[in-house]
Amino acid sequence: MKVGCIQMYVAYSDVERNFATAERLIREAAVKGAQIIVLPELWNTSFALKEIATLADVEGTRTKAFLCKLAKELAVHIVGGSVATKKGEHFYNTMYTVNKDGELVGDYDKVHLFRLMDEHLYLTAGDRVNRFTLGEVEAGGVICYDTRFPEWLRTHALQGADVLFIPAQWPTTRVDHWQILLQARAIENQCFVIAVNRLSHKKENFNGHSMIIGPWGEILWTGGDEEELAIVDVDFSAVAEVRTRIPVYNDRRPALYGEVVRVDSH
């Protein structure tokens, strides 16, 4: 299946410009044969958290309509990265996924909020697993900082995900962590990882390096540090072979994996 990764410049707080960029690149990806199209994190607003009260998509109405319309028109699945939303009185970092029939199949609020960028001061954390199906592909989706919590991604794999989609706004200063963590998540879960990172016009902030990684941990594609639309052919059936050759899921001992509360030493 051909996957289109949209590594786009996200303009700070310029919602109209970002919607226009996303539509242009989604349409281009469809013309180039993409069957699944993936966007980055918070592509509608960037990290304009201080302005979120005026910028957030209320109930996700605009984003859902936008993604559903394009998916149905172009007959493509869209993993809609994530957008800033307002639901009731709270604000969220929300990932919408739409199938090629224009149906919403995934609605996920980022579970782990990144305190170093004050997300917890502006956003409410989600509390639900994000499992969905795109055609015959069993998938899961998490957002950026969620990647640092292997137990959370394993939860999605245990529920049947053969691919994990990870939209992100991962900073340039820790891009080495990004690459290593993504490979580790692919290897330990024996699944594909499709991770799309944003760009900023100041490359010292966010510099792309999106990745598609196979279930052996092999890098199938990595983006550069410019706006890029990559179309990559992904054979999702490879997951079954890997899990058969090294059957780690059969050898798990979950009874021993109880939650351990860390005790800080003084």
Specify if 260 maps to a domain.
no
Q: Check which CATH number belongs to the domain holding 163 and give it.
A: 3.60.110.10
Respond yes or no: is residue 5 known to be catalytic.
no
* Interval 133-188: pLDDT, tens: 999 999 999 999 999 999 999 999 999 999 999 999 999 899 999 999 999 999 99
Please tell me which residue in 64, 110, 119, 138 is annotated as part of the active site. 110
Q: What is the domain extent for residue 12? A: 2-253
Asked if residues 51 and 18 have their Cβ atoms less than 8 Å apart, the reply is: no
Predicted local distance difference test score (pLDDT) of residue 206: 83
Specify if 263 maps to a domain.
no
Respond yes or no: is residue 144 known to be catalytic.
yes
Specify if 258 maps to a domain.
no
Predicted local distance difference test score (pLDDT) of residue 158: 97
Respond yes or no: is residue 68 known to be catalytic.
no
Specify if 265 maps to a domain.
no
Please tell me which residue in 5, 68, 144, 191 is annotated as part of the active site. 144
Handedness of CA 88, 103, 168, 113 (dihedral sign): positive
Q: Which residue has the tokens 């959370």?
A: 152
Specify if 259 maps to a domain.
no
* Interval 89-100: pLDDT, tens: 999 999 999 999
Nearest to 148 by CA among 198, 185, 121, 119: 185
Q: pTM value?
A: 0.95
How many domains does the structure of the chain reveal? 1
Q: Which helix (H) or strand (E) holds 139?
A: strand 137-141
Q: Where are the alpha helices (DSSP H) in the chain?
A: 15-31, 52-55, 61-74, 119-122, 150-158, 175-189, 238-245
Specify if 55 maps to a domain.
yes
Specify if 190 maps to a domain.
yes
Please tell me which residue in 41, 64, 68, 191 is annotated as part of the active site. 41
CA–CA distance, 139 with 159 (Å, rounded to integer): 9
Q: Which residue has the tokens 């929300």?
A: 94
Specify if 208 maps to a domain.
yes
